[in-house]
């Protein structure tokens, strides 16, 4: 290894160590633990943070410190002898994917793609994946004998077969990657329901100019949030900007700035009764599946608005359909579903929600904005980099939430 590369990697590791206290935070909530550096949103928080630092990135700050003789050391990303540790990205090689992987990992890891798996994967330590089914089989996972860390590209990891993953392998979600976009979509649905936008649009198209149908205000109303992870906190921020009072439920019950009330799951009935608007922002686990059923819906106000941007199976499908059928003032806004059509199949659930006037539906598009995939990949690979450099990645999930 050249002395210049050794110096560069030593400088970078020292930089991360020197900046760690500024970025470190720890939160155990919703069945996962987040620790280490908080990976910042590529299009928002990171730019703002850099602006406050005078436009300098952490690397530039650390490089300046190095010139003053601080922060020497080697990076953990390199195995003694100069061989890079290996990362398998379970995606096909594409220019945008290779570019981001090169930017974030090329100096500390050797990167393989699906096309490369025949070249030998026995020494791969990190697996990055978008989906398991149809991509990762028992044959491949059995060959990854050196595997230490799995990084999902998705915020939810309920699609992973934890029973097939060795217990010594850490698994991380990609929580936070598109939290801002999903929170925006939740509010788009909420506002559409509150202001009766689709109803007025339909009436006007029929020539009916109705001004006798009142809308619901957001200001002064109670916004209930189930889950205060990255999405839930963004929803809280938006709710406060609309002048809403926020009541939330999180696993720990830990208070959150800006919320009037934060309780544990035992306080769910109280939040359901008080909420004018309820947003579900929980991961789907064996503890949250079917969380909202007939009893829980019966506790909510007759004209409440329920928004789900998390996972469909957190709500009992039949219970919700029957509640909507018998309570026409109640509105459900759904971006996530119980059944997903395969290619060329029609959208269809077990119950005909599409025939109900008090349902607003979107096809799981909350995070889909230009550049969303690149943002998601970059966020995930930043966490992989953190693992390789520090052995302290964020968003580690508790496998007990997914298997007994």
Assess whether 195 and 272 both reside in one domain: yes
More confident residue, 88 or 68: 88
Q: What is the pLDDT of residues 339-381, one digit of tens each?
A: 999 888 999 999 999 999 999 999 999 999 999 999 999 999 9
In three-state secondary structure terms, 286 is: coil
What's the pLDDT at 256? 97
Does a structural domain hold residue 198?
Answer: yes
What's the pLDDT at 61? 36
Mean pLDDT of 8-27: 40
pLDDT bucket at 32, cuts 50 / 70 / 90 = very low
**CA-wise closest residue to 335 among 366, 314, 313:** 366
Q: Which two tokens stand for residue 314?
A: 């957190």
Assess whether 309 and 186 both reside in one domain: yes
- Give burial (CB, 10 Å; 0-12/13-18/19+) of 263: middle
Q: Which two tokens stand for residue 50?
A: 């850099």
Contacts 24+ apart (CB under 8 A), 68-73: 70/14, 70/18, 71/10, 71/11, 71/13, 71/14, 71/15, 71/17, 71/18, 72/10, 72/11, 72/14, 73/10, 73/13, 73/14, 73/17
Strands 149-152 and 170-172: parallel
Strands 222-226 and 245-249: parallel
Neighbours of 54 (CB within 10 A): 8
Q: Phi first, then psi: what are they for 286, rounded to 5°?
A: -70, -15
Assess whether 91 and 155 both reside in one domain: yes
Does a structural domain hold residue 367?
Answer: no
- Share of residues in the chain with pLDDT > 90 (%): 71
Assess whether 220 and 315 both reside in one domain: yes
Q: What is the pLDDT of residues 43-53, one digit of tens each?
A: 344 444 444 44
Assess whether 15 and 121 both reside in one domain: yes
pLDDT bucket at 114, cuts 50 / 70 / 90 = confident
What's the pLDDT at 143? 87
Strands 32-34 and 396-397: antiparallel
Q: How far apart are CA 281 and CA 329, in angstroms?
A: 23
What's the pLDDT at 83? 53
What's the pLDDT at 132? 87
Are the CB atoms for 276 and 216 separated by under 8 Å? yes
Task: Establish how many alpha carbons lie within 13 A of residue 215's alpha carbon, considering only the half-sphere containing its beta carbon.
Answer: 16
Assess whether 282 and 338 both reside in one domain: yes
Assess whether 237 and 349 both reside in one domain: yes
Q: What is the pLDDT of residues 287-335, one digit of tens each?
A: 999 999 999 999 999 999 999 999 999 999 999 999 999 999 999 999 9
More confident residue, 11 or 392: 392
- Give burial (CB, 10 Å; 0-12/13-18/19+) of 80: exposed
Does a structural domain hold residue 366?
Answer: no
Mean pLDDT of 23-34: 37
What's the pLDDT at 119? 67
Assess whether 186 and 153 both reside in one domain: no
Tell me: pLDDT of 65 over 90: no
What's the pLDDT at 135? 77
What's the pLDDT at 81? 41
Assess whether 251 and 170 both reside in one domain: no
Does a structural domain hold residue 216?
Answer: yes
What's the pLDDT at 118? 76
Assess whether 321 and 386 both reside in one domain: no
More confident residue, 57 or 138: 138
Structural domain including 209 reads: 179-361
Tell me: pLDDT of 36 over 80: no
In three-state secondary structure terms, 50 is: helix
Q: What is the pLDDT of residues 221-270, one digit of tens each?
A: 999 999 999 999 999 999 999 999 999 999 999 999 999 999 999 999 99
Q: What is the pLDDT of residues 84-93, one digit of tens each?
A: 799 999 998 8
More confident residue, 64 or 196: 196
| Alpha carbon separation from 134 to 46, 90, 121, 284, 311 (Å, rounded) | 35, 11, 18, 21, 21
What's the pLDDT at 138? 67
Q: What is the CATH number of the domain that holds 283?
A: 3.40.50.720
Q: Which two tokens stand for residue 356?
A: 């109900």
Q: Which two tokens stand for residue 268?
A: 């769910």
Are the CB atoms for 126 and 88 separated by under 8 Å? yes
Q: Which two tokens stand for residue 91?
A: 């995606």
Assess whether 147 and 248 both reside in one domain: no
Tell me: pLDDT of 285 over 90: yes
Largest separation between any pair of C-alpha atoms in the chain: 77
Q: Which two tokens stand for residue 244?
A: 């809403």
Assess whether 345 and 386 both reside in one domain: no
Are the CB atoms for 190 and 366 separated by under 8 Å? no
- Give burial (CB, 10 Å; 0-12/13-18/19+) of 298: exposed
Q: How far apart are CA 129 and CA 365, in angstroms?
A: 20
| Structural domain total, the chain | 2
């Amino acid at each position: 290894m050249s002395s210049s590369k050794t110096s560069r990697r030593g400088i970078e590791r020292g930089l991360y160590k020197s900046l760690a206290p500024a970025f470190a935070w720890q939160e155990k909530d919703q069945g996962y633990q987040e620790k280490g550096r908080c990976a910042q949103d590529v299009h928002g928080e990171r730019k703002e943070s850099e602006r406050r630092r005078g436009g300098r990135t952490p690397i530039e700050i650390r490089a300046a410190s190095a010139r003053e003789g601080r922060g020497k050391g080697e990076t953990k990303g390199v195995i003694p002898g100069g061989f890079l540790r290996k990362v398998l990205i379970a995606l096909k090689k594409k220019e945008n994917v290779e570019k981001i992987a090169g930017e974030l990992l090329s100096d500390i890891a050797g990167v393989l793609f699906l096309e490369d798996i025949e070249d030998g994967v026995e020494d791969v330590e990190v697996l990055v994946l978008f989906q398991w089914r149809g991509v990762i089989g028992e044959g491949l996972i059995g060959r990854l004998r050196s595997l230490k860390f799995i990084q999902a590209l998705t915020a939810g990891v309920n699609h992973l077969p934890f029973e097939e993953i060795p217990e010594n392998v850490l698994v991380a979600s990609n929580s936070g990657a598109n939290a801002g976009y999903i929170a925006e979509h939740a509010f788009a649905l909420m506002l559409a329901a509150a202001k009766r936008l689709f109803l007025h649009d339909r009436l006007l198209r029929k020539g009916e100019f109705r001004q006798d149908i009142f809308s619901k205000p957001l200001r002064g109303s109670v916004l209930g949030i189930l889950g205060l992870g990255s999405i839930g906190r963004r929803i809280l921020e938006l709710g406060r900007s609309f002048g809403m009072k926020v009541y939330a439920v999180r696993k720990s019950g830990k208070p959150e700035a800006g919320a009037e009330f934060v309780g544990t799951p035992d306080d769910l009935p109280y939040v359901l009764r008080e909420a004018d608007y309820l947003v579900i922002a929980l991961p789907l686990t064996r503890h949250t599946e079917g969380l909202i059923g007939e009893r829980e819906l019966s506790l909510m106000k007759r004209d409440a608005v329920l928004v789900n941007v998390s996972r469909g199976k957190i709500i009992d499908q039949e219970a919700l359909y029957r509640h909507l059928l018998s309570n026409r003032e109640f509105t459900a806004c759904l971006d996530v579903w119980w059944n997903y059509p395969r290619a060329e199949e029609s959208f269809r659930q077990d119950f005909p929600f599409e025939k109900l006037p008090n349902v607003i539906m979107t096809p799981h598009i909350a995070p889909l904005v230009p550049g969303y995939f690149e943002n998601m990949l970059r966020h995930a690979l930043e966490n992989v980099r953190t693992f390789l450099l520090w052995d302290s990645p964020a968003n580690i999930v508790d496998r007990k939430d997914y298997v007994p």
